[in-house]
Amino acid sequence: MTPAPLSRNAAENLRHPGFHHSGNTPAGGIRARLLALTLAALALWAPSLPASAQATGDLGLVVERASGSLLVVDQSERASIGRITGLGDLSHASLVYAPDERFAYVFGRDGGLTKVDILAQTVVNRVMQAGNSIGGAISDDGRFVAVSNYEPGGVRIFDAETLAMVADIPTDSKTIGLVDIPGSRFVFSLWDTGETWIADLSGGTPQITRIKGMGAYPYDALVTGDGRTYIAGLFGEDHLSALDLWQESPKPRRILPGYAKGRAGLPVYKMPHLEGWALAGQDFVLPAMGQHEVLWVDARNLEETGRTPTHGQPVFAMSRPDGRHVWVNFAHPLNDTVQVIDSVTKAVIHKFTPGPGVLHMEFTPRGHEVWLSVRDAGKVMIYDTETFEKLGEITAESPSGIFFTARAHRMGL
Amino acid sequence: MNRPAIILALIAAPALADADPESLRRLVHQDCGSCHGMTLRGGLGPDISPSALTHYRPEDLTTVILDGLPGTPMPPWRPLLSEDEAAWIADYLLEGESK
């Protein structure tokens, strides 16, 4: 639905739920006039009608990376309904939603942290919190927003309401793979030192747990939807590392050891992304580094269960919300193509070329549609995930990340 | 170079054979920018704006672009770029938008 200004009827229904009147009877006319007077009186003292009366459950934001703006989109209308500008350098930007699905926190490459209101379509607050940042997360209770920084490194934590800094966690390293887990905690990894840290914000000051030995150069990480398993991809190792966060003292465990053994690594023109949509049926699906394949591991014992050769080096391997299919896009120069893999047979069942520069994919919350950012075509393209039929497209300026509001209620996103 | 990389090079070569400055500039900001940031001021990879590269001679920078930096995430671009194209990019990085 489109967030137009509230209509008179909507306003009446809002103020008087369950009150029915008819304008075509005398009584109805009087009631209507009384109501109008009441509304006028209300308008004298009440704040203007709350914009939050507009539902946000099928809205979303698309990052326009070159122009520093966000496109506000409506899932059911398959349309753009506005634009929020003035967010700085949004190349590689990402965002998280407040639990109310009204406010979003945008992490810009230039170190800007911006809070936007998707109903009013405005910037609410903006702070330059570092020189160069990569992403962020919001705590389970919605109180804290954490930002992962490249320059000067470390993680900074902000009050979600005011954007005042509440904690500074220097690491002497670029930080990556920042996610939220239950208990007002954040988990992130250190590119330069191969550690994973857990920051617990449930008390007055953050309590840090340092876990060493994750492996060389963790480039990104994910946490599963239950907040239990944290998996870091490693640029400098021929394996990934996993932590069981339900253990009292989580210990790194190598998964997929030697997955590229005996095979020359291909040049990596874009690092893969790891996010919490890895679970497909009973397996996790993960992009290989430097190989044209995705890798499958059993979600319970983390042993390899298969590999699927792909068109190029995967960037995102995203499980549809039901887990039945996995959609994969690829690194430069093969980034015009998308493949769909069946989670049961692990075979590619569909391949198509939406256009140049497919950067990002986002499923509607129950997975009936997928929206693709096709950067160099300047479009967001919308497909049916069962028939693979194209359903529509939206013009956008160099679109990258697409973020639907349902992420507000998912851990690790 | 292993077989997939050769195939990759064969696929990519025609696309860039008649590369013009506009498409190279785009490649620098969009694809080098994956690691170095779209403004080239750094990301997971280092700052490669002109002021950060003053210690590089153009020919050395061209070699880094073509052959990468082993032991770091900087990949060799030789499978995708000609020597002339790499030299153009090196000049562009050193001189900035004045190029």
Q: Are A259 and A237 in contact (CB under 8 A)?
A: no
Cα A283 from Cα A303, distance rounded (Å): 9
Q: How far apart are the first and last CA of chain B?
A: 33
With bands split at pLDDT 50, 70 and 90, how would you rate the model's confidence at A21?
very low
Cα A237 from Cα A194, distance rounded (Å): 11
Cα A404 from Cα A408, distance rounded (Å): 8
Interface test with A, best of B2, B27, B34 (most A CBs within 10 A): B34
Checking ipTM against 0.90, whether it exceeds it is no
Strands of the sheet with A218-223, listed across from one edge: A218-223, A229-234, A240-244, A253-255
Nearest residue on chain B to A111, alpha-carbon basis: B43
Does A268 lie at the interface with B, CB-CB under 8 angstroms? Answer: yes
Cα A392 from Cα A41, distance rounded (Å): 45
Contacts of B43 in chain A (CB under 8 A): 92, 109, 132, 134, 150
Provide the residue type at A178 as one letter.
Answer: L
**Average pLDDT over chain A, rounded to an integer:** 89
Q: Which of A89, A110, A269 sits opposite B31 (nearest CB)?
A: A269
**B9-32 per-position pLDDT tens digit:** 444 444 444 568 999 999 999 899
What chain B holds in terms of domains, given with CATH numbers, is 3-98 (1.10.760.10)
Strands of the sheet with A338-342, listed across from one edge: A314-319, A325-330, A338-342, A348-352
In this predicted structure, the answer to whether residue A38 has a pLDDT above a threshold of 70 is: no
In this predicted structure, the answer to whether residue A162 has a pLDDT above a threshold of 60 is: yes
Alpha-carbon A345 to chain mean position: 28
The mean pLDDT of A218-222, rounded to a whole number, is 96
With bands split at pLDDT 50, 70 and 90, how would you rate the model's confidence at A134?
confident
Q: Are A200 and A183 in contact (CB under 8 A)?
A: yes
In this predicted structure, the answer to whether residue A31 has a pLDDT above a threshold of 90 is: no
In this predicted structure, the answer to whether residue A340 has a pLDDT above a threshold of 80 is: yes
Look at A9 and A317; give whichever has higher pLDDT.
A317
In this predicted structure, the answer to whether residue A100 has a pLDDT above a threshold of 50 is: yes
Nearest residue on chain B to A191, alpha-carbon basis: B44
Q: A220-234: string of b/e by CB count within 10 Å (b at 16+)?
A: bbbbbeebbbbbbbb
Shortest distance between the Cα of A248 and any Cα of chain B, in A, equals 32
Cα A75 from Cα A193, distance rounded (Å): 41
Taking each helix axis from N to C end, the angle separating A26-45 and A8-15, rounded to the nearest 10 degrees, works out to 80
Supply the pTM of this predicted model: 0.84
Alpha-carbon B42 to chain mean position: 14
Determine the pLDDT at residue A24: 41
Q: Which of A109, A357, A375 sits opposite B43 (nearest CB)?
A: A109
Q: Token pair of B82, please?
A: 């000609």
Cα A360 from Cα A379, distance rounded (Å): 12
Percent share of chain A, pLDDT over 70:
87
Cα A254 from Cα A266, distance rounded (Å): 22
With bands split at pLDDT 50, 70 and 90, how would you rate the model's confidence at B51?
very high
In this predicted structure, the answer to whether residue A47 has a pLDDT above a threshold of 60 is: no
Determine the pLDDT at residue B85: 95
Determine the pLDDT at residue A307: 97
Cα B33 from Cα A65, distance rounded (Å): 11
Q: Are A334 and A312 in contact (CB under 8 A)?
A: yes
